Amino acid sequence: MNVTVLNLCSSPIDAYLLQNYADALVKGTQALSADTELLVCVPEETSALDTLAASKYVIPYSPVLREPTALYTAMETGVIRVHPIVKTFENEGWQHRPTTVVTGEEAYRAATGAAGKLICVNGEVKEVAVGTALSELVETAKPVLLGGCNGKFVAAAELANTTVSLEPLFDSIQTYGDKDCLAAAAAEAIHQCVGYSCHNCVLCREGSWHLENIFQSITAGKGKKDDLAMVEDIAPIMQEGCLCEFGRGMATAALTAVQVCRAELEAHIVKKTCPAGVCKAFANYAIRPDLCTGCGDCIDECPEDAIEGKKGFIHIIDQDLCEKCGKCAEVCPENAIVCGEKFRVPKKLVRVGRFS
């Protein structure tokens, strides 16, 4: 008997459907799996699909699982790993049974007759007609991230030219505002990819590490002029050379980040500032001389002993020692410790109220 696998582990939409439309999933799956042995993969233990009476596999969410070979390997060994030879389920003695994978959204559509694409827009799932331009969905001045960590960054100007299709790329849209740092967003996306990579193919395993390394050094203020060129050098090769779509998607995310977020990335590298004020590496904490009461609470709190001061004197942060953890600002009873503001501070200890 052929096999049908309901895969609810590879898309944020699946989790939403499992929570809100379990009945539709059951109905749709039944329709799509007639005359086959049904197996169900869920990201966590649930009884919502028990009426399907299918063998259940609990496999943690990973976009890599869109790759059927990774799904089969995970079902059989518990380890998510892309394995090009495992083309169908059940490789007992390398004999395979013809297998079809059904996604949650496919089952939902089969049950409800819905024609649109379910899209998770900034965490909220909406059904959107295929062909809709993204500019109708979101309004933003900054680039957006389509399809999660292994998706792609799209410039705001391009949103009108980008229309929704049923591809997994349109599973999610993440927008960014003035207080969001795109360098940090790119670094976070690649960081997630490092965690998801099955580590089988060299380009994805090592490439994700190098890309993460580059974006993290940029957000940590250690970015170099050549960093963006390096991404533009290796990412296009990874886009072609990675073993599976996940790795290629990761390379696309990294490459588009450089292409459409270049100004913000260069600000980190060249001007050594984070325009959104998010990347702590660029933040300078300082104590406002007009507010400090010289209480010493911040001195006790600082793990780096970077704050100089004594009772009744305006305290001073040594910028060379400061690790920008922000703990001082949290404990200051006067809210005198601020970040990113420009004002004069004393160079040596001055009594409270004497600095002007």
Partner 1 sequence: MSQLVHLTIDGYEVTAAEGTTVLDAALAAGIYIPHLCSHENLHPYGACRLCVVKQQGVEGVITSCTTPVQEGMVIDTHDEMAQKIRKLSCDFMFKTHPTECTGCPKYGKCQLQSISQYIGDTGRKLKANPISVAADTSNPIILHEMYRCILCGRCVRACQELRGVGVLKFATVKGRTQVVIDGNNLNSAGCRFCTACVEVCPTGSIREYEALAQKAIGKTREAALIPCKDGCPAHVDVPRYLRFVREGKYAAAAAVVREKAPLPESLGYICAHPCEGECKHQCLNSPVSIRNVKRFAAQHDDGAWKANSFQKPDTGKRVAIIGSGPAGLTAAYYLRKLGHSVTILEAQAQLGGMLRYGIPSHRLPREVLDREIAEILSVGIEVKTETRVENVAALMAEGYDAVLIAVGTHQGSKLPLANNDLPDVYTNTDFLRAAGKNEPLPVGNRVVVLGGGNVALDCATVARRLGAQDVHAACLERYDAMTCSDEERGWAEEEGVKIHPAKTFLSIEAENGKVTGLKIAGVKDFFFDAEGKSHIELEENSEEIIPADTIIFAVGQRPDLNEGFGVELGRGNRVTTATDGATSVAGVFAAGDAVTGTKTVIAAIAAARDVVCAMDKYLGGEGEIAEALAPVQEANPCIGRIENFGSAERLEPSILPADERVKGFIQMDFGFTAEQAVTEAERCLQCDLRLQLAPQRFWNDYPIHEAKGEQA
Q: Which positions lie near partner 1, rule CB under 8 A?
A: 79, 81-85, 94, 194, 199-203, 205-207, 209-210, 213, 226, 230, 233-234, 237-238, 240-243
Q: Which is nearer to partner 1, 33 or 200 (CB)?
A: 200
Q: Which is nearer to partner 1, 199 or 324 (CB)?
A: 199
Residue 229 beta carbon to partner 1: minimum distance, rounded to whole angstroms: 10
Q: Which is nearer to partner 1, 53 or 85 (CB)?
A: 85
Residue 86 beta carbon to partner 1: minimum distance, rounded to whole angstroms: 9
Closest to 102 (Cα-Cα) out of 110, 91, 114, 113: 110
Q: Which is nearer to partner 1, 128 or 251 (CB)?
A: 251
Residues 79, 82, 83, 87, Cα dihedral to 10°:
110
Q: Which is nearer to partner 1, 230 or 325 (CB)?
A: 230
- Three-state secondary-structure class, residue 118: strand
* Chain centroid, CA 275 distance in Å: 20
Residue 262 beta carbon to partner 1: minimum distance, rounded to whole angstroms: 20
- Three-state secondary-structure class, residue 54: coil
Residue owning tokens 């600002």:
329
C-alpha separations of 185 from 32, 63, 144, 151 in Å: 38, 18, 10, 12
CA atoms 102, 105, 106, 111: torsion sign: positive
Residue 210 beta carbon to partner 1: minimum distance, rounded to whole angstroms: 6
Show the beta-strand stretches assigned E in 33-115. 37-42, 55-58, 99-103
CB 148 within 8 A of CB 12: yes
Q: Which is nearer to partner 1, 206 or 304 (CB)?
A: 206
Residue 256 beta carbon to partner 1: minimum distance, rounded to whole angstroms: 18
Residue 113 beta carbon to partner 1: minimum distance, rounded to whole angstroms: 34
